[in-house]
Amino acid sequence: MKYRPLQQQQYQQTDLATNQPYNQLFIYYLQGRLSSERDIQHANYIGNWEEDDYSFIFFSQPSRAKVSRLIKKQPHLRFLDEYCIPFDQWHGQRLATTQIGGFTIQPPWGPNQSADRHQRILLDPGVVFGAGTHPTTRDCLEAIEIVCDQTNIESTLDLGTGSGLLAIAASKRTGCRCMAVDLNLLAAKTAANNVRLNYLENKILSVRGRAEDFIEYSADLVIANIHYEVMRHLIVSEGFLAKRWFILSGLLRSEAKCIGEQLDALPVQTVKTWQRDGIWHTFCGVIT
Protein backbone atom coordinates (compact mmCIF):
# COMPACT_ATOMS: atom_id res chain seq x y z
CA MET A 1 0.00 0.00 0.00
CA LYS A 2 1.45 3.37 -1.00
CA TYR A 3 0.28 6.71 0.31
CA ARG A 4 1.64 10.17 0.95
CA PRO A 5 1.11 11.75 4.39
CA LEU A 6 -0.23 15.28 4.07
CA GLN A 7 0.32 16.81 7.49
CA GLN A 8 3.37 18.77 6.41
CA GLN A 9 2.05 20.03 3.08
CA GLN A 10 1.18 23.66 2.57
CA TYR A 11 -2.49 24.67 2.62
CA GLN A 12 -4.03 28.13 2.66
CA GLN A 13 -4.79 28.92 6.29
CA THR A 14 -7.61 31.08 7.59
CA ASP A 15 -7.01 34.23 9.61
CA LEU A 16 -8.25 32.76 12.88
CA ALA A 17 -8.94 36.11 14.52
CA THR A 18 -11.00 37.88 11.87
CA ASN A 19 -13.58 36.96 9.26
CA GLN A 20 -14.16 33.96 7.04
CA PRO A 21 -11.32 33.26 4.61
CA TYR A 22 -13.05 34.47 1.43
CA ASN A 23 -16.33 36.09 0.46
CA GLN A 24 -16.40 35.06 -3.20
CA LEU A 25 -15.15 31.95 -4.95
CA PHE A 26 -13.83 32.34 -8.50
CA ILE A 27 -13.92 28.94 -10.18
CA TYR A 28 -12.26 28.06 -13.49
CA TYR A 29 -13.47 24.91 -15.20
CA LEU A 30 -10.88 23.16 -17.37
CA GLN A 31 -10.78 19.96 -19.34
CA GLY A 32 -7.75 17.93 -18.34
CA ARG A 33 -5.80 17.48 -15.13
CA LEU A 34 -2.97 19.71 -13.99
CA SER A 35 0.43 18.10 -14.39
CA SER A 36 1.67 20.34 -11.56
CA GLU A 37 0.15 22.93 -9.24
CA ARG A 38 3.39 24.93 -9.19
CA ASP A 39 2.32 26.83 -12.30
CA ILE A 40 -0.81 28.13 -10.56
CA GLN A 41 0.36 28.77 -6.98
CA HIS A 42 -0.56 32.28 -5.86
CA ALA A 43 -1.69 34.05 -2.71
CA ASN A 44 -5.31 33.95 -3.95
CA TYR A 45 -5.16 30.29 -5.02
CA ILE A 46 -7.39 28.03 -2.90
CA GLY A 47 -7.00 24.68 -4.60
CA ASN A 48 -7.83 22.37 -7.48
CA TRP A 49 -10.71 19.91 -7.40
CA GLU A 50 -10.26 17.10 -9.95
CA GLU A 51 -13.19 15.05 -11.21
CA ASP A 52 -12.60 12.46 -13.94
CA ASP A 53 -10.69 14.34 -16.66
CA TYR A 54 -11.72 17.81 -15.48
CA SER A 55 -10.27 20.38 -13.10
CA PHE A 56 -12.06 23.04 -11.07
CA ILE A 57 -9.53 25.64 -9.96
CA PHE A 58 -10.58 27.87 -7.06
CA PHE A 59 -9.35 31.40 -6.30
CA SER A 60 -10.48 34.02 -3.80
CA GLN A 61 -10.01 36.82 -6.39
CA PRO A 62 -10.58 37.05 -10.18
CA SER A 63 -7.69 35.15 -11.78
CA ARG A 64 -8.47 34.59 -15.47
CA ALA A 65 -5.04 35.90 -16.50
CA LYS A 66 -3.30 33.42 -14.18
CA VAL A 67 -5.37 30.58 -15.61
CA SER A 68 -4.49 31.66 -19.15
CA ARG A 69 -0.79 31.55 -18.27
CA LEU A 70 -1.32 28.10 -16.73
CA ILE A 71 -2.84 26.81 -19.98
CA LYS A 72 0.10 28.16 -21.96
CA LYS A 73 2.49 26.25 -19.69
CA GLN A 74 0.31 23.13 -19.71
CA PRO A 75 -1.20 23.08 -23.25
CA HIS A 76 -3.02 19.79 -22.67
CA LEU A 77 -5.53 21.82 -20.61
CA ARG A 78 -8.54 23.44 -22.26
CA PHE A 79 -10.60 26.29 -20.78
CA LEU A 80 -14.33 25.48 -20.59
CA ASP A 81 -16.02 28.03 -18.33
CA GLU A 82 -15.73 30.24 -15.25
CA TYR A 83 -18.03 31.00 -12.33
CA CYS A 84 -18.27 33.37 -9.40
CA ILE A 85 -20.14 32.03 -6.36
CA PRO A 86 -20.46 33.48 -2.84
CA PHE A 87 -18.61 31.32 -0.30
CA ASP A 88 -21.77 30.92 1.80
CA GLN A 89 -23.81 29.87 -1.24
CA TRP A 90 -21.22 27.21 -2.11
CA HIS A 91 -21.89 25.57 1.27
CA GLY A 92 -25.63 26.17 1.13
CA GLN A 93 -25.67 28.55 4.10
CA ARG A 94 -23.45 30.78 6.16
CA LEU A 95 -21.02 28.76 8.22
CA ALA A 96 -21.52 29.41 11.92
CA THR A 97 -21.10 27.60 15.19
CA THR A 98 -23.42 24.59 15.14
CA GLN A 99 -24.28 22.04 17.81
CA ILE A 100 -24.94 18.52 16.55
CA GLY A 101 -25.58 16.07 19.35
CA GLY A 102 -22.60 16.21 21.68
CA PHE A 103 -20.41 18.07 19.18
CA THR A 104 -19.98 21.81 18.74
CA ILE A 105 -18.63 22.59 15.26
CA GLN A 106 -17.09 26.03 15.03
CA PRO A 107 -15.39 27.90 12.16
CA PRO A 108 -11.86 28.95 13.18
CA TRP A 109 -12.60 32.58 12.35
CA GLY A 110 -14.58 34.96 14.52
CA PRO A 111 -14.88 35.04 18.32
CA ASN A 112 -13.87 32.01 20.35
CA GLN A 113 -16.95 30.30 21.76
CA SER A 114 -16.92 27.79 24.58
CA ALA A 115 -18.37 24.38 23.81
CA ASP A 116 -19.25 23.84 27.47
CA ARG A 117 -19.78 20.10 27.93
CA HIS A 118 -19.71 19.36 24.21
CA GLN A 119 -16.80 18.23 22.12
CA ARG A 120 -15.52 21.35 20.32
CA ILE A 121 -14.32 20.93 16.72
CA LEU A 122 -12.67 23.74 14.79
CA LEU A 123 -13.52 23.27 11.12
CA ASP A 124 -12.48 25.17 8.01
CA PRO A 125 -14.10 23.18 5.17
CA GLY A 126 -12.57 25.33 2.47
CA VAL A 127 -14.42 24.31 -0.68
CA VAL A 128 -14.86 20.59 0.02
CA PHE A 129 -17.74 18.50 1.38
CA GLY A 130 -18.15 18.14 5.12
CA ALA A 131 -19.11 21.43 6.78
CA GLY A 132 -21.58 19.68 9.09
CA THR A 133 -24.61 21.07 7.28
CA HIS A 134 -25.46 18.06 5.10
CA PRO A 135 -27.97 15.51 6.50
CA THR A 136 -25.59 12.58 5.98
CA THR A 137 -22.82 14.33 7.93
CA ARG A 138 -25.20 14.98 10.81
CA ASP A 139 -26.39 11.37 10.81
CA CYS A 140 -22.81 10.11 10.83
CA LEU A 141 -21.99 12.31 13.83
CA GLU A 142 -24.99 10.87 15.67
CA ALA A 143 -23.90 7.37 14.66
CA ILE A 144 -20.39 7.99 16.01
CA GLU A 145 -21.91 8.84 19.40
CA ILE A 146 -24.07 5.71 19.35
CA VAL A 147 -21.08 3.48 18.61
CA CYS A 148 -18.89 5.16 21.21
CA ASP A 149 -21.60 4.86 23.87
CA GLN A 150 -21.74 1.09 23.35
CA THR A 151 -18.10 0.07 23.01
CA ASN A 152 -14.50 1.14 23.32
CA ILE A 153 -13.12 2.36 20.00
CA GLU A 154 -9.34 2.52 19.75
CA SER A 155 -8.98 2.95 15.98
CA THR A 156 -11.11 4.35 13.15
CA LEU A 157 -10.91 4.30 9.35
CA ASP A 158 -12.69 7.22 7.67
CA LEU A 159 -13.12 6.61 3.93
CA GLY A 160 -14.07 9.61 1.82
CA THR A 161 -13.08 11.93 4.65
CA GLY A 162 -13.77 15.23 2.84
CA SER A 163 -13.00 17.99 5.34
CA GLY A 164 -11.95 15.42 7.96
CA LEU A 165 -14.88 16.25 10.24
CA LEU A 166 -15.94 12.68 11.00
CA ALA A 167 -12.39 11.50 11.68
CA ILE A 168 -11.88 14.45 14.04
CA ALA A 169 -15.21 13.79 15.76
CA ALA A 170 -14.35 10.13 16.34
CA SER A 171 -10.93 11.01 17.73
CA LYS A 172 -12.30 13.81 19.93
CA ARG A 173 -15.02 11.54 21.28
CA THR A 174 -12.80 8.54 22.06
CA GLY A 175 -9.18 9.59 21.85
CA CYS A 176 -8.74 6.94 19.15
CA ARG A 177 -6.20 7.02 16.35
CA CYS A 178 -7.63 7.43 12.87
CA MET A 179 -6.71 7.04 9.21
CA ALA A 180 -8.58 9.64 7.12
CA VAL A 181 -8.60 8.82 3.39
CA ASP A 182 -9.83 10.71 0.34
CA LEU A 183 -9.14 10.17 -3.34
CA ASN A 184 -9.24 13.90 -4.01
CA LEU A 185 -5.99 15.67 -3.15
CA LEU A 186 -7.71 18.95 -2.23
CA ALA A 187 -9.97 17.11 0.23
CA ALA A 188 -7.01 15.30 1.78
CA LYS A 189 -5.15 18.62 2.18
CA THR A 190 -8.24 20.24 3.71
CA ALA A 191 -8.62 17.37 6.18
CA ALA A 192 -4.94 17.66 7.13
CA ASN A 193 -5.42 21.38 7.79
CA ASN A 194 -8.38 20.69 10.08
CA VAL A 195 -6.42 18.00 11.91
CA ARG A 196 -3.79 20.67 12.65
CA LEU A 197 -6.42 23.18 13.76
CA ASN A 198 -7.60 20.66 16.37
CA TYR A 199 -4.07 19.64 17.45
CA LEU A 200 -4.67 16.00 16.51
CA GLU A 201 -1.58 15.40 14.36
CA ASN A 202 -0.50 12.63 16.74
CA LYS A 203 -3.89 10.90 16.41
CA ILE A 204 -5.06 11.36 12.81
CA LEU A 205 -3.20 10.69 9.57
CA SER A 206 -4.77 12.26 6.47
CA VAL A 207 -3.79 10.60 3.19
CA ARG A 208 -4.76 10.64 -0.45
CA GLY A 209 -5.84 7.28 -1.79
CA ARG A 210 -8.58 4.96 -3.00
CA ALA A 211 -10.99 3.58 -0.41
CA GLU A 212 -10.55 0.12 -1.94
CA ASP A 213 -6.82 0.26 -1.19
CA PHE A 214 -7.33 1.13 2.47
CA ILE A 215 -10.26 -1.07 3.50
CA GLU A 216 -7.77 -3.67 4.76
CA TYR A 217 -6.41 -1.15 7.29
CA SER A 218 -6.95 -2.53 10.80
CA ALA A 219 -9.60 -0.55 12.68
CA ASP A 220 -12.41 -1.05 15.18
CA LEU A 221 -14.76 1.30 13.30
CA VAL A 222 -15.05 2.04 9.59
CA ILE A 223 -16.91 5.16 8.44
CA ALA A 224 -17.76 5.45 4.74
CA ASN A 225 -19.76 8.49 3.64
CA ILE A 226 -18.95 7.72 0.05
CA HIS A 227 -20.25 6.95 -3.44
CA TYR A 228 -22.50 3.92 -3.76
CA GLU A 229 -20.43 2.35 -6.54
CA VAL A 230 -17.44 2.26 -4.21
CA MET A 231 -19.41 1.22 -1.13
CA ARG A 232 -21.12 -1.80 -2.68
CA HIS A 233 -17.73 -3.38 -3.32
CA LEU A 234 -16.24 -2.37 0.03
CA ILE A 235 -18.84 -4.08 2.19
CA VAL A 236 -18.26 -7.54 0.71
CA SER A 237 -14.49 -7.35 1.18
CA GLU A 238 -12.57 -9.23 3.85
CA GLY A 239 -11.25 -5.92 5.14
CA PHE A 240 -14.76 -4.65 5.87
CA LEU A 241 -15.81 -7.84 7.63
CA ALA A 242 -12.70 -7.71 9.81
CA LYS A 243 -13.94 -4.48 11.44
CA ARG A 244 -16.13 -4.41 14.57
CA TRP A 245 -18.49 -1.52 13.73
CA PHE A 246 -19.55 0.32 10.58
CA ILE A 247 -21.21 3.59 9.59
CA LEU A 248 -22.31 3.77 5.94
CA SER A 249 -23.83 6.93 4.48
CA GLY A 250 -24.26 9.15 1.43
CA LEU A 251 -26.86 6.80 -0.05
CA LEU A 252 -29.95 7.68 -2.05
CA ARG A 253 -33.14 5.63 -1.62
CA SER A 254 -32.55 3.02 -4.33
CA GLU A 255 -28.88 2.75 -3.38
CA ALA A 256 -29.75 2.26 0.29
CA LYS A 257 -32.17 -0.52 -0.66
CA CYS A 258 -29.37 -2.38 -2.47
CA ILE A 259 -26.88 -1.84 0.35
CA GLY A 260 -29.48 -3.02 2.87
CA GLU A 261 -30.01 -6.22 0.88
CA GLN A 262 -26.25 -6.79 0.77
CA LEU A 263 -25.98 -6.26 4.52
CA ASP A 264 -28.80 -8.76 5.12
CA ALA A 265 -26.65 -11.44 3.50
CA LEU A 266 -23.59 -10.63 5.63
CA PRO A 267 -22.72 -11.48 9.26
CA VAL A 268 -23.70 -8.03 10.50
CA GLN A 269 -26.39 -6.54 12.70
CA THR A 270 -27.79 -3.12 11.83
CA VAL A 271 -28.25 -1.11 15.02
CA LYS A 272 -29.90 1.98 13.54
CA THR A 273 -30.81 3.45 10.16
CA TRP A 274 -31.55 7.07 9.24
CA GLN A 275 -33.72 8.44 6.44
CA ARG A 276 -33.64 12.19 5.85
CA ASP A 277 -36.20 13.96 3.68
CA GLY A 278 -36.94 10.66 1.97
CA ILE A 279 -33.63 11.04 0.14
CA TRP A 280 -30.50 10.38 2.21
CA HIS A 281 -29.90 7.12 4.08
CA THR A 282 -27.37 6.02 6.68
CA PHE A 283 -26.65 2.63 8.31
CA CYS A 284 -24.92 2.00 11.62
CA GLY A 285 -24.17 -1.53 12.76
CA VAL A 286 -21.93 -4.13 14.30
CA ILE A 287 -20.09 -6.90 12.49
CA THR A 288 -20.71 -10.21 14.26
**Looking at residue 1, what is its pLDDT?**
44
- Please tell me the distance from the alpha carbon of residue 280 to that of residue 123, in angstroms, as a whole number: 23
Q: Is residue 4 part of a domain?
A: no
Q: Is residue 119 part of a domain?
A: no
Asked which of 91, 106, 138 is the last residue of a domain, the reply is: 91
9-18, 39-48, 165-174: least confidently modelled range: 9-18
Q: Is residue 121 part of a domain?
A: no
Q: Is residue 105 part of a domain?
A: no
- Please tell me the distance from the alpha carbon of residue 87 to that of residue 95, in angstroms, as a whole number: 9
- Please tell me the distance from the alpha carbon of residue 166 to that of residue 49, in angstroms, as a whole number: 20
Instruction: Of 2-6, 77-81, 101-105, 113-117, give the range with the top mean pLDDT.
Output: 77-81
Higher-confidence residue of 287 and 88: namely 287
Q: How does pLDDT run across 95-109, given as a tens digit for each residue?
A: 888 999 999 999 998
Q: How does pLDDT run across 172-198, given as a tens digit for each residue?
A: 999 999 999 999 999 999 999 999 999
Q: How does pLDDT run across 61-71, given as a tens digit for each residue?
A: 999 999 999 99
pLDDT above 90 as % of the chain: 76
Q: How does pLDDT run across 107-124, given as a tens digit for each residue?
A: 998 666 665 556 899 999
Higher-confidence residue of 99 and 18: namely 99
**Looking at residue 2, what is its pLDDT?**
42
The pLDDT confidence band at residue 91, using thresholds 50, 70 and 90, is confident
User: Domain range holding 65?
Assistant: 24-91
What CATH number corresponds to the domain at position 79?
3.30.70
* Chain Cα centroid distance, residue 126: 11
Q: How does pLDDT run across 238-272, given as a tens digit for each residue?
A: 999 999 999 999 999 999 999 999 999 999 999 99
Same domain, yes or no: 222 and 154 = yes
Same domain, yes or no: 170 and 215 = yes
What are the DSSP calls for the chain, one per residue?
----B-TTS--PPP-TTSS-S-SEEEEEEEES--S-STTT--TTEEEEEEETTEEEEEESS--HHHHHHHHHHSTT-EEEEEEEEEHHHHHTS----EEETTEEEE-SSSS----TTSEEEE---TTSS-SS-SHHHHHHHHHHHHHHHHS---EEEEES-TTSHHHHHHHHHH--EEEEEESSHHHHHHHHHHHHHTT-TTTEEEEE--HHHHTTS--SEEEEE--HHHHHHHTTSHHHHTSSEEEEEEE-HHHHHHHHHHHHTSSEEEEEEEEETTTEEEEEEEE-
Please state the pTM of the whole predicted model.
0.89
**Looking at residue 176, what is its pLDDT?**
96
Same domain, yes or no: 52 and 139 = no
**Looking at residue 118, what is its pLDDT?**
67
Q: Number of structural domains, the chain?
A: 2
Same domain, yes or no: 84 and 150 = no
**Looking at residue 255, what is its pLDDT?**
97
Same domain, yes or no: 160 and 277 = yes
What CATH number corresponds to the domain at position 225?
3.40.50.150
Q: Is residue 216 part of a domain?
A: yes
Q: How does pLDDT run across 136-170, given as a tens digit for each residue?
A: 999 999 999 999 999 999 999 999 999 999 999 99
Asked which of 71, 91, 111 is the last residue of a domain, the reply is: 91
Same domain, yes or no: 60 and 143 = no
